[in-house]
Every structure is written in C-alpha cells, then in structure tokens.
Amino acid sequence: MHTYPADHMWRDLEFSMEYDEQKRCIIRAPVAPGLCGEQGTLQVGFISTLFDLVGGELAARTAYPDWIATADLVLYSKERARGGEFTAVAWVVRAGRSSIVIEADMQVRPRPRAAAVSVGSAMAAFTRLRSREDTAQVARVDGPHQVFSLEGHVPSQRILDKAGLRVLDEAAGAVEIGMSDYVRNAFHGLNGGVFGLLADAAGQCAARAASGRPLVTADLAIHYLSMGKAGPFRTRARVVRASRDSVLTRVEMVDAGKDDLLMAVAMNTATPA
C-alpha cells in the first residue's frame, strides 16, 4: 500500500490496519466530516470503501503468491454512524482454489471510552488469480500493523469534491468521476473502493428524486464485471421498487472512455437517515 502517492484518497481516509496471525484483519478510521453526508452520518459509500480495503488486503494475504480481484460485495446497515471511530473486523469464511470469501462486522465507538455499537455487516467474494511470470506485482507490507496516513498530512474535508464526483442528472441517477491519481489503484485502474462511492451517490440521487424525500443509502450489493481504465466513469440508475420509507435502485457503472464498457452493477436500498 505504500506505493500510492502522497495525495491519494486513501491518505484522506486516515485508516490503519491490524492483523491477527493472518486470520483476522481490523481496519480503523475516524468518522470525519469529510466522510459524512449533509445529514451528518457516515456515507455507506465510504463504509464500502473501507470494507473493500480490509477485505481485499486479507484476501490478498490469504491468496499469496496468487493475486485477487473483487467479484461481489454486499453491505447491510443496522445503525447510522454519526461520529467517533469506525472499525471493521474481517475474517476468512472460505479460502478455495478459485475464490476467497471474507465477512466483516462493522462497529462505531462514538467516544474513546464508550462501548462499540454494531452498525452493520458485510461480505465479499474475491476471485483468485493464479500468479504468472508476467503478472504485475505491487509492493506488499506484511507487518502486523499498517498506518496509511502520512505524518503532517492534513486530510481533505471534502473527499468527494477532491475525487471529482459530480451529479449530471439526479433523477436518472447519473453521476461521474474522472480518472486521476487521487482515485487510481496500483494497477493504473480505478480504485475498487470508488465503485462503492459511485453506487452510493447514484442510487441515493435516484431514490431522492423518486420519493421527494432526503433518503440515504442503507444497503449496497455490488457485482464487479471489469476494471475501469480510461474514464470518465459514469452511472445510470433505475428505480426497481419504491415505498414511503424505502427505495431500491439498480445502478450501472460504465467506463465512458471505453465505449461505455459495463464495469459493475449495484443494487442500492435507500431509507430515512
């Protein structure tokens, strides 16, 4: 992870990871204003990003020397996080020849000495990619503790703005992020965590337009199909089901720079905050 530039989205998340003999991986991050929506709650897109980070790191350690790619991710919310420290404790459910499944319990500690409160759970499947001589390799840090923030770094308070996310058409759930070093991964593609941010923003926009209420994403299910390479990366959403207190949308994410190549499909459930 230390191969990323100093000005990268992950630096602004200020997360750290701890490992338990490669059986469990724990990620911690402050619930900072830059990660919260206008209603003051931690955005599910960032929760998805943090889970993808911890799940991907644990899956990569489990698969080594092979590599992995995220195939599917589901995330369910129980409570809204409004401050304190976010924690996700991840463990390996299954490690097979072709796939690795990771599950996590997500908690928030509102104050340093307060009891942690469970805010949701998540599960992801990672495809195992057999290592070959021509497989791109990235530097790995295998110690028991990693801190991804840099000394003296002042985290951005407007991460989505810095990433370049903008709404093109709220009713259509059309949002866009361009390619930049801020959101790029080690393989020069779109960082996998950004898929969650796109699915969150697009589904939430469509849900609010359909309901006329300030609904907020609660649950996400993302099916990854291909890596984003060129950009800009855009979404389109369709309302599947709508009631007074819940709207379910189907979100497609495409690489506009690759003839609208379909990168992922997500299901977004939005509810009152």
> Per-residue pLDDT tens for 234-258?
999 999 999 989 999 999 999 999 9
Q: Taking 70 as the threshold, does the pLDDT of residue 214 lie above it?
A: yes
State pLDDT tens for residues 128-173.
Answer: 998 765 544 444 555 565 655 555 556 666 899 999 999 999 999 9
Residue 165 covered by a domain: yes
For residues 21 and 37, which has the higher predicted lDDT (pLDDT)? 37
Residue 94 covered by a domain: yes
Report residue 257 CA to chain centroid gap. Answer: 22
| Structural domain that includes position 39 | 9-148+157-271
Q: Taking 70 as the threshold, does the pLDDT of residue 19 lie above it?
A: yes
H-helix or E-strand containing 48?
Answer: helix 44-63
Q: Taking 90 as the threshold, does the pLDDT of residue 10 lie above it?
A: no
Residue 141 covered by a domain: yes
Instruction: Determine the pLDDT at residue 138.
Output: 46
Residue 4 covered by a domain: no
Instruction: Determine the pLDDT at residue 1.
Output: 47
Return the CATH number at 70. 2.40.160.210
Residue 66 covered by a domain: yes
- Enter the pTM of the model: 0.91
State pLDDT tens for residues 58-74.
Answer: 999 999 999 999 999 99
Cα–Cα distance for residue pair 26/33, rounded to 1 Å: 22
Stretch 189-199: mean pLDDT, rounded? 95
Stretch 14-28: mean pLDDT, rounded? 87
List CB contacts of 224: < 8 A, sequence separation 6 or more: 69, 70, 71, 72, 73, 192, 195, 263, 264
Residue 72 covered by a domain: yes
Cα–Cα distance for residue pair 178/166, rounded to 1 Å: 9
Instruction: Determine the pLDDT at residue 235.
Output: 98
Cα–Cα distance for residue pair 94/39, rounded to 1 Å: 37
The tokens describing 110, both together, are: 């509102």
Residue 54 covered by a domain: yes
Cα–Cα distance for residue pair 37/153, rounded to 1 Å: 23
CA nearest 251: which of 189, 216, 207, 211?
207
CB distance 254 to 266 below 8 Å: no
Instruction: Determine the pLDDT at residue 73.
Output: 98
Instruction: Determine the pLDDT at residue 228.
Output: 95
Residue 224 covered by a domain: yes
List CB contacts of 126: < 8 A, sequence separation 6 or more: 55, 56, 59, 63, 68, 69, 70, 71, 99, 100, 101, 102
Tally of domains within the chain:
1
